[in-house]
Amino acid sequence: MNKKSNKICCVTGHRNIPNVKCSYVAEQLAKEIESAIAGGFNYFISGFADGTDLIFAKEIVNRIRNGQELFLEAAIPYAGRLDSKDPVFQDCLTYCSQIHIASQKYEKNCFLDRNMYMLQKSQRVIAVYDGRKRGGTLYTINRAHSLDRDVRMIRI
């Protein structure tokens, strides 16, 4: 696979999405993914965290299962995260064409390093954001803007 010819899109968002908003988030992510595909994006990166990241990965996997020629990459913050017992995590991981591990062990900045890796590779960022004034999602959104990425916001 020649990554230079791929248009790459990643996701950022909150891990703790209220249950009442999960179906809305999934619907909006599906719309943004369809928009990205229509715009020529075929390579998608997820951080594989609970919440937004896994909903996004599952949406990509569903399309791969249905025969769409898409690529999914897992950007894992630290190697121990691969031991997740979450069946959705493990199922989605089997569909990844690439797995990037930011750090071999948990370190203070491993999540930020993972997010920067995704931003550096991607032209578009889909962000699920609830208005918090601090945290990893806001930091990643702000960095995406500073790197002049195409940021698509899903507000919850």
Question: 102-112, pLDDT tens digit by residue?
Answer: 999 999 999 99
What is the crossing angle of helices 19-38 and 52-65, to 10°? 50
Structural domains of the chain in order of their starting residue, each with its CATH number = 3-155 (3.40.50.450)
What is the rounded CA–CA span in Å between residue 8 and residue 3?
9
What confidence score (pLDDT) does residue 126 get?
Answer: 98
Please classify residue 32 by burial: count the beta carbons closer than 10 Å to its beta carbon, then call 0-12 exposed, 13-18 middle and 19+ buried. Answer: buried
Task: Match 């075929």 to its residue by tokens.
Answer: 42
Question: 69-100, pLDDT tens digit by residue?
Answer: 999 999 999 999 999 999 999 999 999 999 99
Instruction: Note the pTM of the prediction, 2 decimals.
Output: 0.95
